[in-house]
Chains A and B, each alone.
Chain A
Amino acid sequence: MIDWKRWFIKDNAAIPLLAILSGLLFGAFVMLLGGFNPIDAYSHLFRNVFGSPYDFGETIRQVTPLIFTGLSVAFAFRAGLFNIGAEGQFVMGMTGASIVGVLLEAPWYIHAPLALAGGALLAGLWGGLAGFLKARWGINEVITTIMLNWMALYLSNYIVRAFLLEPKQQRTYLIHDSAKTSMAWLSELFGSARVHWGIFFALLAAVLCYAFLWKTGQGLELRAVGHNPHAAQYAGMNVKRNVTKAMFIGGVFAGLGGAFEILGVFHYQVIASASPGLGFDGIAVALLGGNHPLGVVLAALLFGSLSYGSAGMSFGADVPPEIIRIIIGSVIFFVASPGIIRWAMGLFARNRKRKEVA
């Protein structure tokens, strides 16, 4: 059984929570500076998330890809790799799903899974490539994944334009109905919000991610490589294979996120001038979630709600939605500098001690 009290006292829960609080306070401060009413703004934000079934459903839609990209970054991180490439892998996932969804025809029980698998595989290879380059020649994965992000954007645009383009449109043909992963009844339940199968797969992915890392021998290997590659090598583990594998699996997670965006939400892919940014947000999600699957799910919930709710803030309280990026940014800042939080937490305890000494 988990000793909740001890778990909570430990940094891993207290710091993110205090960081969120500090981030919200900082956001309020910025709003005050800008002459807005933060209480009004936050209550509109809250209402926009929980106000109607439709909004709630759309929030879930917003959260889903963040869980996937968050898992992607967290998983690679557990193997000691900094996957900046979730963005590019996400785009490759969208592209793979579009290719299968548009070009193929099959019964739904084959088509949808195949489209998902296509996106996941393409993204996995995209991530695995960075892993391979690191394993084989020691090329830093931060650099390769950043480059691969750009390559993914332009390659997918090329694929869309050359093979999938609907004439006179800036997007692909619609995917076949058999490839869609929308859920009609669920969608109706949420006032026809675009919720889809993805959320269940995202939660399942989080569970599998946890089970793989902490319950299997391969997961133990991966974590050992992440913590101390020298000891892993000494213990007989294949460090290079694990590096490639971790990046491949990380890519699969991000790719599933991208595939579900196509198959469940948009049903087509556009020629994009910039990539969607959900992969980059995944870095923030993983960081706030302490690179733990459960933490990732919670952090994705928070960030997804904040970004969806920010629309309500601008309608209701006239606060520019960009404020929400400031809040998210400052939450990340506080998480990434736990020293500040600990210092603040320590102030109280220390003052007491000082008095005792005096």
Chain B
Amino acid sequence: MQQTKVVDMRGITKRFPGITVNDGIDLSLLQGEVHAILGENGAGKSTLMNILFGLYQPDEGEIRIHGKPALIDNPNTAIRLGIGMVHQHFKLVQPFTVAENIILGSEPRRGFSISYREAVRRVEDLSRQYGLNVDPNARIEEISVGMQQRVEILKTLYRGADILVFDEPTAVLTPDEIEELLDIMRSLVRQGKSILLITHKLKEIMEIADRVTVIRRGKVIGNVAKAETNPSQLAEMMVGRSVSMAIDKKPIEPGKPVLQVERLVVKGREGAPAVNGISFTVREGEVVGIAGVDGNGQSELIQALTGLRKAESGEVRLMGADITNAAPRAISETGMGHIPEDRHKHGLVLDFSLRENMALRTYDKKPFKRYGLLDYAAIDKHAQELVEQFDVRCPDIYTQARALSGGNQQKAIIAREIEKGPELLIAAQPTRGLDVGAIEYIHRRIVEQRNKGKGVLLVSYELDEILSLSDRVLIIFDGQIIGETRPEETNDRELGLRMAGSRLDKDAERSHAG
């Protein structure tokens, strides 16, 4: 049977100053399929999707939607053509309710006034139809990231989209939320929608995609049916060499303590303690992983350790020095590197050039500052070295950080923090949004820190990552460390159960007591 092409992009070429980002790309999306787009960081995936959604204009090539040539000059045109996009960074109005956010810009009217009740009803209908389970009256700021993503999906459906584009939708989700999202996608496809999915996770592709298009450095490398491929073949197509996720970790005897945390208490956003009396130690030559479901105090713990949030009580020592509630600069200079969880909020000044971002923490130190003036020659040299060493793909070091692809932004931060040579590296979600080749490289660098006798504190929602990198794993739940294990003594299923199962234990205790 000949399926119809709902999207047909032919020979799409897009150039930015100094770089060809899409180079004659052909891509077609069939009615009712999930089509995955796979490619290295900076390969040009987001750019291609932004072209389809009318955010960029291609320099060459044509786009057909439902067989008709289309000039998509802005997102409104795209929406009119039935294209909806769920961006990686959500565009929601925080204090508004779900329903208000969804109708924003195409409000149902009754005379001159907006019919809110009508809006809620329609949102409820859509939510039920696709199994989204969204409460139309909840405020955005009160709901989880996973729910916010569903609101974005609803927004596109509400506007009548039948072609849905997802740009790395699972990068911000927890494993459970990912499962639910995949279910939602299945239900969407069942009801006649077609989906373009960008993801770096091969597991997800194998689970949901029908076909895969692989892009490397702006060119299509291949187009395969899922049924005829496997993860390692995909990885090889994408990176151009075989990728091994196995890590060479010699056993080392941990040395002196690098980080000592004693009965730390940190308040969360609502004023209740988010970290509730945590104690642990990280030693030289050791990677300590913190495993837990999102929102159990990990963010607050890291922010308190790095000086971004006040600790209520307890003590933090780095290399023996008391750094409790010290200023971020003092902590950093005592010997801490920090790969922050939120790269856009903390990690980068997006409007700065890459070279300035590379010196963001050290601009007032020796080679970069002389007689109060910045020595841009030294700053450039430093940035250039890091870019080459960590393979940050960018037109040049004068490019704005904003113009880098998501994964390359992450690589730039990691380069800056590791290069500082910290005694303790705190890595929060270090490989979020990276391609498999880059993950392999970053994992090596993290283990290399450990092998050099430095301490590493790793926080990740990816159990695979925790298990393959850590020497010890601490399980965090509800602001407390509820257990410790070693990767060789456990597996992801058991760990996952302990992260959530403890909740059952607790409830059981409570009901006994009560």
Chain A interface residues (CB < 8 Å from chain B): 6, 215-218, 220-221, 223-224, 227-228, 230-238, 350, 353-354, 357
Q: Which of A6, A216, A217, A231 contacts B346 (CB 8 A)?
A: A231
* Chain A nearest Cβ from B416, distance in angstroms: 10
Would you mind naming 22 contact pairs between A and B with Cβ atoms under 8 Å apart? Answer: A216-B372, A217-B364, A217-B368, A217-B372, A217-B374, A220-B374, A223-B352, A224-B352, A227-B352, A228-B350, A230-B345, A230-B346, A231-B349, A232-B349, A233-B346, A235-B360, A235-B361, A236-B327, A236-B329, A236-B330, A236-B332, A236-B333
* Chain B nearest Cβ from A242, distance in angstroms: 13
From B306, B329, B349, B351, residue with most partner A Cβ within 10 Å: B349
Whether B374 and A353, one on each chain, are in contact in the complex, defined by CB atoms closer than 8 angstroms, is no
A63 to B48, CA, bound (A): 48
Known contacts A217-B374, A233-B308; decide if A357 and B69 are in contact (CB<8 Å): yes
Given A216-B374, A227-B350, A236-B329, 20 other A-B residues pairs in contact with their CB atoms under 8 A = A215-B373, A215-B374, A218-B372, A224-B352, A227-B349, A228-B348, A228-B350, A230-B345, A231-B349, A233-B328, A234-B308, A234-B347, A235-B328, A235-B361, A236-B327, A236-B333, A236-B361, A238-B327, A350-B73, A357-B62
* Chain B nearest Cβ from A236, distance in angstroms: 3
B71 at interface (Cβ–Cβ under 8 A)?
Answer: yes
Whether A357 and B373, one on each chain, are in contact in the complex, defined by CB atoms closer than 8 angstroms, is no
B130 at interface (Cβ–Cβ under 8 A)?
Answer: no
Chain B interface residues (CB < 8 Å from chain A): 17, 57, 62, 69, 71, 73, 306, 308, 327-330, 332-333, 338, 340, 345-352, 356, 360-361, 363-364, 368-369, 372-374
Closest 9 CB pairs of A and B: A236-B329, A234-B346, A217-B364, A235-B360, A227-B351, A236-B328, A228-B349, A227-B349, A230-B345
Q: Which of A6, A218, A234 contacts B328 (CB 8 A)?
A: A234
A302 to B346, CA, bound (A): 40
Contacts of A353 in B (CB 8 A): 57, 71, 73
A230 to B275, CA, bound (A): 21
Whether B373 and A216, one on each chain, are in contact in the complex, defined by CB atoms closer than 8 angstroms, is yes
Known contacts A231-B346, A231-B360; decide if A6 and B352 are in contact (CB<8 Å): no
* Chain B nearest Cβ from A218, distance in angstroms: 8
- Per DSSP, chain A at the interface is helix
A357 to B327, CA, bound (A): 59
A353 to B351, CA, bound (A): 31
A238 to B57, CA, bound (A): 41
* Chain B nearest Cβ from A208, distance in angstroms: 13
Whether B363 and A220, one on each chain, are in contact in the complex, defined by CB atoms closer than 8 angstroms, is yes
Contacts of B62 in A (CB 8 A): 357
Contacts of B364 in A (CB 8 A): 217
Known contacts A6-B17, A220-B363, A224-B360; decide if A231 and B348 are in contact (CB<8 Å): yes
Whether B374 and A224, one on each chain, are in contact in the complex, defined by CB atoms closer than 8 angstroms, is no
A230 to B306, CA, bound (A): 13
A221 to B363, CA, bound (A): 9
A237 to B345, CA, bound (A): 15
A220 to B306, CA, bound (A): 22
A356 to B345, CA, bound (A): 42
A227 to B402, CA, bound (A): 12
* Chain B nearest Cβ from A165, distance in angstroms: 44
Contacts of B328 in A (CB 8 A): 233-236
Contacts of A228 in B (CB 8 A): 345, 348-351
A67 to B363, CA, bound (A): 30
A46 to B348, CA, bound (A): 48
Q: Which of A6, A217, A230, A354 contacts B363 (CB 8 A)?
A: A217
Contacts of A221 in B (CB 8 A): 363
Contacts of B349 in A (CB 8 A): 223-224, 227-228, 231-232
A173 to B112, CA, bound (A): 63
A216 to B332, CA, bound (A): 21
A357 to B73, CA, bound (A): 12
Q: Which residue of B lies closest to A224 (CB)?
A: B349
A223 to B374, CA, bound (A): 14
Whether B327 and A231, one on each chain, are in contact in the complex, defined by CB atoms closer than 8 angstroms, is no
* Chain A nearest Cβ from B180, distance in angstroms: 30
Contacts of A238 in B (CB 8 A): 327
Contacts of A230 in B (CB 8 A): 345-346
Contacts of B346 in A (CB 8 A): 230-231, 233-234
Contacts of B327 in A (CB 8 A): 236, 238
Q: Which residue of A lies closest to B348 (CB)?
A: A231
A224 to B359, CA, bound (A): 12
A159 to B330, CA, bound (A): 46
Contacts of B350 in A (CB 8 A): 227-228
Contacts of A218 in B (CB 8 A): 372
Whether B347 and A220, one on each chain, are in contact in the complex, defined by CB atoms closer than 8 angstroms, is no
A76 to B332, CA, bound (A): 28
* Chain A nearest Cβ from B64, distance in angstroms: 11
Known contacts A216-B372, A236-B327, A236-B329; decide if A231 and B345 are in contact (CB<8 Å): yes
* Chain A nearest Cβ from B332, distance in angstroms: 5
Q: Which residue of A lies closest to B371 (CB)?
A: A216
* Chain A nearest Cβ from B426, distance in angstroms: 12
* Chain B nearest Cβ from A111, distance in angstroms: 30
Whether A234 and B374, one on each chain, are in contact in the complex, defined by CB atoms closer than 8 angstroms, is no
Q: Which of B347, B368, B372 contacts A231 (CB 8 A)?
A: B347
A321 to B78, CA, bound (A): 48
Contacts of A237 in B (CB 8 A): 329
Q: Which residue of B lies closest to A225 (CB)?
A: B349
Q: Which residue of B lies closest to A354 (CB)?
A: B71
A70 to B132, CA, bound (A): 52
Contacts of B373 in A (CB 8 A): 215-217
A6 to B373, CA, bound (A): 27
Q: Which of A215, A234, A236 contacts B340 (CB 8 A)?
A: A234
A6 to B73, CA, bound (A): 23
Q: Which residue of B lies closest to A211 (CB)?
A: B373
A228 to B71, CA, bound (A): 36
